[in-house]
A and B are shown apart, each in its own frame.
Chain A
Amino acid sequence: MPKHTHLYQLIFSLVLILLAGTLYGQQANGATVSGKISSVSGNAIEGVNVVLVGENKGVVTGKSGYYTISNLAEGIHTLQISYLGFKTITHKIQLNPNQNLVVDFKLEDAPLEMGAVQLNGKSKVRKINEQAYTVTSVSTKELLNSSQNAQQILDRVPSVRVLQEGGLGSDFTFSLNGFKGNQVKFFLNGIPMDNFGSSFNLNNIPVNSIERIDVYNGVVPIWLGTDALGGAVNIITNQKDEYLDVSYSYGSFNTHQASVNGAYTNDETGFTVRGNLNYNYSDNNYDVLVDVEDELGNLQDSNVEIERFHDQYQSASAQIETGFVDKNFADQLLFGVIASEDDSELQTGATMATVFGAVKRESQSIVPSLKYKKRDLFAEGLDVNVNASYSIIKTKNIDTLTGFRYNWYGEKIATGSQTQGEQGEANLLELEDKQFSNQFNLSYLFDEKHSFSLNQAFQYFTRDEFDQVNTDVNQYFLPKKLSKNIIGLSYKYKFNEKWTTTIFGKAYSLNVETSEETGNNIESTEASKISDNNFGYGIATSYFLTPALQVKASFENTFRLPTAEEFFGNGLTVLPNPNLKPEQGKNFNLGASYNFQINNDHQFDVSGTFLYRDANDLIYNIVTVSGPTTTNGNLSKVKALGAQGSFAYRYKEVFNLSANITYQDITDEADLSYSDYLGYQPNLNKGARIPNTPYLFGSLVAGLNFKDVFAEKSRLNFNYYFNFTEEYFLSSERFGRDGKAIIPRQLSHSLEAVYSLENGKYNISVECRNVTDEELYDNFRLQKPGRAFYVKLRYSL
């Protein structure tokens, strides 16, 4: 059945394509007009509207600036070419029957009529930001010479906090407006990343493989086809057809990061190969301040500076895609595979009081994928996009050293036990997760004003668990299978150039299968199945009050479907709860952004967003008082009110400054709490801020750029990065007085200098992170690295 399901999904997608084709594809003979649209300086412009006046026909130019309108009657037509920030061109053409007319246009910059504001041709990033959704798009363009990774870039996005437990490769929690874990979904070029494994994630994708990162707060567009509660992050890797980027960085704690990225495309055949190879290594042997206990557990030395000794991290990944681009059967048809592996040593437990000297974790993943993209398939305005992938992830937790434990001096202390490892009972637990996922997008542009799109996202997940050491436990690992299907339909109406609105609906369906223990022993297991269906909906609207001032609002009623683990527990201590419901959330966003220039030299961008979140039925673990077992319940409820503001200023190409601040008041709104001691009782924390979540934070980046320093075609940049997080509580805001566990206020400063030669072909950068050697924590008393230095060399073609 499962294997068939994959096949069924693929066939379903294909049938839809064909169906769409027969519905709209009444291809007839006719004349065609095509051509390329570029700016005066010769750069192709993507996204230009090309319409035939009075004929309800039109297209938008593709990446290389080309447009084609076919199936035209003979005679005189009027072409109108318009794009915000450029002068609109109206051009009459005369067509003979079946003529293929080629007309290229060059668009001139246009000072817009409203106000004295002049808009530049928009970068992709700005276009993403101007969607009606609350989205922040970060371009890596200016960070390519930096030794940062995706995580550090995201940590400077408003509303985002990446809470890292240690150095390179350590576990992290991504929080978006306080929503964490499964509530926020990650995508790589639109493909869900939730099963890519730890060896290919935010931690180890270097900046050079990334073109930009889009962060959707709250409302997620249907084409991402997912069940997110807090929003989604889409990482877009470099999409250029031909390039080469090679970089290597070395830094403190013996950290090496190497990355090779490139693409080759044959213009004639359309054959393309693209990919990246990445390698990361670090000893993570940074100094921490710790208390050291003697063999008996008594405090021996207090607050001593110790070098971490068991925190080595290594990861390697390769992503290769090959296929064809810009052919008549496909704009893009790519087969790809991601292969990755990582090994990490674990230095500490949940707090630094627990020291490990032998615990390790390994993971491997292989993800084959298929991408197909075609504009105007069978009919003009009918675009199709299919992304399918299959991932196999193996994860191993290795805690097999018995008889010893370690202290912070790295000394081995005998425990006398042959059964207990460092984390508890010795184990070598292997998990094998497999996931098939398929995203199918179909969009149809009726005319300038109306467009529809349909998304179907399917995921099928299985997990196998096996413990090589503690083999008794294996009989309790019951198979878990989960499939979810999300169908979204959206309608976009463009009232005019200033106002667009999208409404959408999503249907979520979930099927979970496992075996369940029905009696008191393991022999009495029975297949058990759960199905659940939900419907979500939303609206996103955007209005340009002036070409420079955009106001947007969005609302969504969304669901986050439970995982197999949440439904079924672990077979032992976490018991199943077949009545578990999806987490449900309503979110509302209202934002405004304004940009203007003064004397062409000073460019300002200011934006502010107000957020409201109302999340219900949040899943959490019910801890029991009288027994060792727990279960998951839909008990918690959270309300968030937040605001974020950002500001950017640029003076010519010489100086830039940007800053943002986020304030979020996220409160526990559950009426009841449940325990086996009290049953349902009023929630004592109602109205209090939720614990262990930053509520006030911000960041600032400033840069200075000089041209032609020491050599022609050279550049010298200095950048300064500042991050700030206000103190927050680990536990309740409301209770307790003495010895409250807090995560103190964090301030960190980093400096970077970059020198480029030959217009960016050869680059060298040096970076100093945490310049003031501040004690930094993200989680409770888990210290992060102090001052660190990095050098990066990069060659780019």
Chain B
Amino acid sequence: MNKLMMNLGKLIALFTIVFSMIACSSDDDSGSANQGDYALSLAIQGSTGDFTYYTVPFEDVMEGTLSAAGQGIEQPGYYEFVSYDNTIYSLGGLDNDNVVAISQNADGSLNQTGDVSFNQQLEDLVEADNNTLVSVSMSSSSDVLTFRKFNTNSVTVAEEKTVQVSNFTDLVGPSYSGMVIRDDHLFLSYYISDPNTFDTDYTDQAEVAVFSYPELEFEKVITDNRVGPIGGFGVNSGLVEDNSGNIYALSHSNPANGFSQSTKPSGILRIDAGETEFNEDYFFDIESASGGNNTAHLKYLGNGKAFAEMNVVDRDSQERWSDGPLQSAVIDFEEQTVDLIQGVPEHRGNGRKLAALQQGDDVYMCVPEEDGIYVYRMDTESLTATKGAKVEATFVAGFFKF
């Protein structure tokens, strides 16, 4: 019996050791959800290299630290964010692409709706009218592009339209760079990029495909050989529309945004309100206006002005895919001026779609600096800036206000 007790004693001792090794994990106390009218979509690179996006509401973006720790709507995968009429839309997914509408609940927290799924990547989602958003899927390796009309209230697809790429180019590799829907037309800008190498071997003219709206029938391609292709890799701001219906088409052919060569000067063209051709008399030589610089990122503000992220390195000495270094500026399409905003440090490239928020005369944007990312509030009239909160993220994919 003693032996039995001894053995059992040893057994118990061993088990105690084993289980004391199994440390208790302290469960994080899930505190209350953030509330606030601002929302940032923060991309965070995980321990294994994958990205996850967190859209988090904040009360104040000018002080403290903005973090997704224990907060926000989680979306693992690859996403882009756009916003129309007080609703944020995420485009992307882990495998399939989906569209989710993120809106504000009465208590200031966030709510998500949407149950659509596509086996194609959605490049962009553009507002057609109060009830309709139009998405486009196009890939340089594909022979078709697909438009989808979304009902904004239900976040469902009402109609799908597939267009053969051969309608508007014989070349392989049209890649999306911008889309505007104005009255009864849809304008789509693109550049030719090799699906394997991403080389751009055709840079001698600007091309914009014009479709009828709402039918989405292909009508024509308009071209202009004063500049090279419109837009560049992943930025989506090749075309911007002003309040009176003029569409500005931005060409930069910059290696920083995906071009392997450039054969034409950069500049901005215009499709006048009511017209479906380039205005041959309008040319905004952005390089001479800025002292030799270029831009790939534009956000229309009003009164013929746009917020721009100016690339401050000469195009010929740019590093491919670098997107930077950048300086924030305000450009005037009418006056053809470029004015840098004081107080914003020169910064690295934002890469994707410009994540900036306009509030009256102010533009809020996140700027990556040596010691992290900071919010800057820029006054576009006085051209001054105020540094705000620090942001914990790998990069900022969206900046919104409800």
**Residues of chain A whose beta carbon lies under 8 Å from any beta carbon of chain B:** 115-116, 291, 293, 295-299, 302, 349-351, 353-354, 405, 415-420, 422, 424-425, 472-473, 476, 520, 522, 549, 572, 592, 594, 596, 598, 604, 606-608, 610, 620-629, 636, 638, 641, 643-645, 647, 661, 663, 665, 668, 670, 673, 675-679, 681-682, 684-685, 688, 690-692, 695, 730-732, 734-741, 780
Q: Which of B95, B199, B322 is within 8 Å of A349, CB to CB?
A: B95
* Interface window among B111-119, B177-185, B356-364, B376-384: B111-119
Task: Please give the distance in Å from A735's CB to the nearest CB on chain B.
Answer: 4
Please name all residues of chain B whose beta carbon is closer than 8 Å to the beta carbon of A740 when the two chains form the complex.
Answer: 74
Q: Determine the residue in chain A with the shortest Cβ distance to B322.
A: A626
Please name all residues of chain B whose beta carbon is closer than 8 Å to the beta carbon of A738 when the two chains form the complex.
Answer: 33, 72-74, 110, 112
B47-59 near A? 1/0 per residue, CB < 8 Å = 1111110100000
Asked whether A291 lies within 8 Å of B49 as measured between CB atoms, the reply is: no
Asked whether B257 lies within 8 Å of A626 as measured between CB atoms, the reply is: yes
- Contact A625:B349 (CB < 8 A) given known A415-B162, A673-B394, A739-B73: yes
Please name all residues of chain A whose beta carbon is closer than 8 Å to the beta carbon of B52 when the two chains form the complex.
Answer: 731-732, 735-736
Asked whether A620 lies within 8 Å of B48 as measured between CB atoms, the reply is: yes
**Bound form: Cα–Cα A691–B51 in Å:** 11
Asked whether A626 lies within 8 Å of B44 as measured between CB atoms, the reply is: no
Task: Please give the distance in Å from A251's CB to the nearest CB on chain B.
Answer: 30
**Bound form: Cα–Cα A301–B128 in Å:** 29
Asked whether B117 lies within 8 Å of A691 as measured between CB atoms, the reply is: no
**Bound form: Cα–Cα A739–B50 in Å:** 18
Task: Please give the distance in Å from B234's CB to the nearest CB on chain A.
Answer: 7
- Contact A420:B156 (CB < 8 A) given known A297-B116, A608-B18: no
**Bound form: Cα–Cα A678–B324 in Å:** 11
- Contact A641:B142 (CB < 8 A) given known A298-B156, A736-B52: no
Asked whether B196 lies within 8 Å of A572 as measured between CB atoms, the reply is: yes
Asked whether A684 lies within 8 Å of B394 as measured between CB atoms, the reply is: yes
Please name all residues of chain A whose beta carbon is closer than 8 Å to the beta carbon of B368 when the two chains form the complex.
Answer: 677-679
**Bound form: Cα–Cα A731–B234 in Å:** 25
Please name all residues of chain A whose beta carbon is closer than 8 Å to the beta carbon of B401 when the two chains form the complex.
Answer: none
**Bound form: Cα–Cα A296–B149 in Å:** 10
Task: Please give the distance in Å from B231's CB to the nearest CB on chain A.
Answer: 14
Asked whether A596 lies within 8 Å of B7 as measured between CB atoms, the reply is: yes
**Bound form: Cα–Cα A458–B142 in Å:** 44
- Contact A670:B47 (CB < 8 A) given known A419-B141, A520-B199, A684-B393: yes
Q: Which of B47, B117, B260 is within 8 Å of A293, CB to CB?
A: B117
Please name all residues of chain A whose beta carbon is closer than 8 Å to the beta carbon of B46 when the two chains form the complex.
Answer: 685, 691, 731-732
Please name all residues of chain A whose beta carbon is closer than 8 Å to the beta carbon of B323 when the two chains form the complex.
Answer: 625-627, 676
**Bound form: Cα–Cα A663–B25 in Å:** 10
Please name all residues of chain A whose beta carbon is closer than 8 Å to the beta carbon of B10 when the two chains form the complex.
Answer: 549, 594, 596
Asked whether B348 lies within 8 Å of A676 as measured between CB atoms, the reply is: yes
Please name all residues of chain A whose beta carbon is closer than 8 Å to the beta carbon of B164 when the two chains form the complex.
Answer: 416
Q: Which of B2-41 contact A (CB under 8 A)?
A: 3-4, 6-7, 10-11, 14-15, 17-19, 21-23, 25, 30, 33
**Bound form: Cα–Cα A673–B395 in Å:** 12
Please name all residues of chain A whose beta carbon is closer than 8 Å to the beta carbon of B48 when the two chains form the complex.
Answer: 620, 636, 690-692
B139-173 near A? 1/0 per residue, CB < 8 Å = 10111100010000000111110101000000000
Asked whether A636 lies within 8 Å of B47 as measured between CB atoms, the reply is: yes
**Bound form: Cα–Cα A422–B118 in Å:** 12
Please name all residues of chain B whose beta carbon is closer than 8 Å to the beta carbon of A349 when the two chains form the complex.
Answer: 95-96
- Contact A592:B349 (CB < 8 A) given known A623-B49, A691-B46, A732-B44: no
Q: Determine the residue in chain B with the shortest Cβ distance to A622.
A: B49
Asked whether A741 lies within 8 Å of B74 as measured between CB atoms, the reply is: yes
**Bound form: Cα–Cα A670–B45 in Å:** 12
Asked whether A620 lies within 8 Å of B162 as measured between CB atoms, the reply is: no
Interface presence of B70 (CB below 8 A): yes
Task: Please give the distance in Å from B280's CB to the nearest CB on chain A.
Answer: 33
**Bound form: Cα–Cα A473–B195 in Å:** 9
Q: Give the most central of A424, A621, A623, A736: most B CB within 10 Å.
A: A736
**Bound form: Cα–Cα A299–B98 in Å:** 11
Task: Please give the distance in Å from B43's CB to the nearest CB on chain A.
Answer: 8
Asked whether B395 lies within 8 Å of A678 as measured between CB atoms, the reply is: yes
Asked whether A620 lies within 8 Å of B71 as measured between CB atoms, the reply is: no
Interface presence of B93 (CB below 8 A): yes
Asked whether B352 lies within 8 Å of A626 as measured between CB atoms, the reply is: yes
Interface presence of B267 (CB below 8 A): no
Asked whether B47 lies within 8 Å of A678 as measured between CB atoms, the reply is: no
Asked whether B349 lies within 8 Å of A473 as measured between CB atoms, the reply is: no
Please name all residues of chain A whose beta carbon is closer than 8 Å to the beta carbon of B274 when the two chains form the complex.
Answer: none
Q: Determine the residue in chain B with the shortest Cβ distance to A572.
A: B196
Please name all residues of chain B whose beta carbon is closer than 8 Å to the beta carbon of A350 when the two chains form the complex.
Answer: 94-95
Interface presence of B76 (CB below 8 A): yes
- Contact A351:B96 (CB < 8 A) given known A592-B14, A678-B368: yes
Interface size class, chain B: 35 or more
Please name all residues of chain A whose beta carbon is closer than 8 Å to the beta carbon of B256 when the two chains form the complex.
Answer: 626
Please name all residues of chain A whose beta carbon is closer than 8 Å to the beta carbon of B115 when the two chains form the complex.
Answer: 291, 298-299, 302
Q: Which of B228-245 contact A (CB under 8 A)?
A: 233-234
Please name all residues of chain B whose beta carbon is closer than 8 Å to the beta carbon of A621 when the two chains form the complex.
Answer: 49
Q: Determine the residue in chain A with the shortest Cβ distance to B30.
A: A737
Q: Give the most central of A405, A420, A425, A738: most B CB within 10 Å.
A: A738
**Residues of chain B whose beta carbon lies under 8 Å from any beta carbon of chain A:** 3-4, 6-7, 10-11, 14-15, 17-19, 21-23, 25, 30, 33, 44-52, 54, 68-76, 93-96, 98, 110, 112, 115-119, 139, 141-144, 148, 156-160, 162, 164, 195-199, 233-234, 256-258, 260, 320-324, 348-352, 368, 370, 372-373, 392-395
Q: Which of B22, B148, B320 is within 8 Å of A296, CB to CB?
A: B148
Task: Please give the distance in Å from A399's CB to the nearest CB on chain B.
Answer: 12
Asked whether A473 lies within 8 Å of B47 as measured between CB atoms, the reply is: no
Q: Give 7 pairs: A residue, B residue, CB < 8 Å, sorted on A.
A: A296-B159, A606-B14, A620-B48, A625-B351, A645-B22, A685-B46, A691-B48
**Bound form: Cα–Cα A780–B96 in Å:** 14
Asked whether A665 lies within 8 Å of B25 as measured between CB atoms, the reply is: yes
- Contact A626:B349 (CB < 8 A) given known A351-B96, A419-B141: yes
Q: Determine the residue in chain A with the shortest Cβ distance to B366.
A: A677
Asked whether B196 lies within 8 Å of A296 as measured between CB atoms, the reply is: no
Asked whether B74 lies within 8 Å of A688 as measured between CB atoms, the reply is: no
Please name all residues of chain A whose beta carbon is closer than 8 Å to the beta carbon of B321 when the two chains form the complex.
Answer: 624, 626-629, 676
- Contact A735:B3 (CB < 8 A) given known A296-B160, A684-B393, A691-B47: no
Q: Which of A353, A647, A678 is within 8 Å of B348, CB to CB?
A: A678
Ordered nearest first, which 3 A-B pairs have the shortest CB separation?
Answer: A627-B321, A643-B21, A626-B351
Q: Determine the residue in chain B with the shortest Cβ distance to A180.
A: B48
**Bound form: Cα–Cα A422–B96 in Å:** 11
Please name all residues of chain B whose beta carbon is closer than 8 Å to the beta carbon of A592 when the two chains form the complex.
Answer: 14, 17
Task: Please give the distance in Å from A666's CB to the nearest CB on chain B.
Answer: 9
Task: Please give the distance in Å from B320's CB to the nearest CB on chain A.
Answer: 7
Asked whether B392 lies within 8 Å of A684 as measured between CB atoms, the reply is: yes
Q: Which of A293, A298, A608 is within 8 Å of B21, CB to CB?
A: A608
**Bound form: Cα–Cα A692–B14 in Å:** 31
Asked whether B395 lies within 8 Å of A675 as measured between CB atoms, the reply is: yes
**Bound form: Cα–Cα A507–B159 in Å:** 63
Q: Determine the residue in chain A with the shortest Cβ distance to B114.
A: A299
Please name all residues of chain B whose beta carbon is closer than 8 Å to the beta carbon of A739 when the two chains form the complex.
Answer: 73-75, 112
Asked whether B162 lies within 8 Å of A353 as measured between CB atoms, the reply is: no
Asked whether B68 lies within 8 Å of A735 as measured between CB atoms, the reply is: yes
Q: Which of A295, A572, A668 is within 8 Å of B47, CB to CB?
A: A668
- Contact A623:B157 (CB < 8 A) given known A598-B3, A739-B112: no
**Bound form: Cα–Cα A566–B355 in Å:** 33
**Bound form: Cα–Cα A556–B322 in Å:** 41
**Bound form: Cα–Cα A159–B201 in Å:** 53
Task: Please give the distance in Å from B59's CB to the nearest CB on chain A.
Answer: 16
Please name all residues of chain A whose beta carbon is closer than 8 Å to the beta carbon of B96 when the two chains form the complex.
Answer: 349, 351, 353-354
Q: Determine the residue in chain B with the shortest Cβ distance to A414.
A: B162
- Contact A298:B94 (CB < 8 A) given known A620-B48, A678-B368: no
Asked whether A594 lies within 8 Å of B350 as measured between CB atoms, the reply is: no
Asked whether A735 lies within 8 Å of B196 as measured between CB atoms, the reply is: no
Given contacts A296-B160, A735-B74, A738-B112, 17 further A-B contacts (CB under 8 A): A293-B116, A298-B157, A417-B144, A420-B143, A420-B144, A596-B11, A598-B4, A625-B323, A625-B351, A626-B257, A626-B351, A626-B352, A679-B370, A685-B47, A731-B76, A736-B68, A741-B74
